[in-house]
Amino acid sequence: MFKVILRSALVGIGALVVTAFFGVLVVLPATLYFLTKRVAPAGGGEVGWDLVSMAHNSPDIVGLIALVALLVFAAGSYFGFRHFSESPVRR
């Protein structure tokens, strides 16, 4: 039973890794494309991104990301448990 739980947890971690790669390879470029498509107004102002201050000023997004990660891990673990807990078919 320990092997089944361990394999299920590893499938959950694998689901998180696949989701992270999907986010970096698909969602991030699409987001950057649409963000850079806007025409900036004429002027000398510059804007920078400080991810730490953004996370501190909007804790809702951090909670949402944690919730999504938890749901992805739970779904991966659930499907892994269902797959690995089946008894092998005898022929």
Per domain, the residue ranges of the chain are 2-35+51-84
Supply the DSSP string of 18-51, one letter for each residue.
Answer: HHHHHIIIIIHHHHHHHHHTSPPPSSS------H
pTM of this structure: 0.62
pLDDT of the residue at 72: 92
Residue 71's pLDDT is 93
Q: Nearest Cα to 69, choosing from 21, 6, 16?
A: 16
**Tens-binned pLDDT, residue by residue, of the chain (91 aa):** 888 888 889 999 999 999 988 888 888 888 788 777 766 666 666 667 777 777 777 778 778 888 889 999 999 999 888 888 877 765 5
